[in-house]
C-alpha cells in the first residue's frame, strides 16, 4: 500500500495502518527526520494510550500502555553498535510477546526474517508531506 499524506492527516494514516495490519510487528525505515517517531506517536495514540510518546533513542526501548492495559513496545535501534547489544537487551523475548511492536532502524540487526512483520518506509516529500510504503 502506498499513501501520500500531509502531516495534519497523520492520525488517519495511523488508523488505516492499524486496521490493515495483519501482524503486530512493524519495521520503520526512513532517513533521519522522515517522520518515523511522529507516525509511531500517532499509532500509540490510536491504540488507546495516554502516555507521552518520545523517541527511545537513548534507552532503545519505551513501553506504553494502550487500552485494556495492553503493552505497546517502541524500539529505536539507531544507537546499537553491534547486534549483540540487541540480544543483551532481550529483543528475542520482546518480539515473542503478544503486543504491538514498532521498530525504528531495524536494519541495524538481522533478526526479523524469522518473524511475521510489516515494513513501513517513510519518505519526506517536503516539510509537511510524506509518502509511506506499507507492506
Rounded mean pLDDT of the chain?
Answer: 93
> How much is the pLDDT for 106?
96
Give the per-residue pLDDT at 115. Answer: 94
DSSP string, 44-81: HHHTT--SPP---TTTSEEEEE-GGG-EEEEEE-TT-S
Predicted local distance difference test score (pLDDT) of residue 54: 80
Would you say residue 56 has pLDDT above 80? Answer: no
- Enumerate residues 6+ apart whose C-beta is below 8 A from 114: none
- Please compute the mean of the pLDDT values over residues 118-126 and round it to a whole number: 96
pLDDT at 58 over 80: no
Res 53: pLDDT? 85
Task: Show me where the domains of the chain are located.
Answer: 2-134
Pick the CATH number of 2-134 from 3.40.50.300, 3.40.50.720, 3.40.630.40, 2.60.200.20: 3.40.50.300
34 pLDDT above the threshold of 80: yes
Amino acid at each position: 500500500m502506498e499513501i501520500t499524506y500531509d502531516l495534519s492527516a497523520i492520525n488517519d494514516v495511523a488508523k488505516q495502518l492499524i486496521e490493515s495490519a495483519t501482524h503486530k510487528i512493524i519495521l520503520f525505515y526512513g532517513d533521519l527526520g522522515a517522520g518515523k517517531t511522529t507516525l509511531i506517536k500517532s499509532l500509540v495514540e490510536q491504540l488507546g494510550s495516554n502516555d507521552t510518546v518520545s523517541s527511545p533513542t537513548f534507552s532503545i526501548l519505551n513501553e506504553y500502555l494502550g487500552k485494556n492495559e495492553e503493552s505497546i513496545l517502541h524500539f529505536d535501534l539507531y544507537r546499537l553498535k553491534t547486534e549483540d547489544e540487541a540480544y543483551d537487551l532481550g529483543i528475542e523475548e520482546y518480539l515473542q510477546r503478544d503486543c504491538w511492536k514498532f521498530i525504528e532502524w531495524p536494519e541495524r540487526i538481522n533478526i526479523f526474517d524469522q518473524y511475521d512483520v510489516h515494513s513501513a518506509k517513510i519518505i519526506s516529500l517536503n516539510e509537511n508531506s510524506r509518502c509511506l510504503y506499507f507492506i
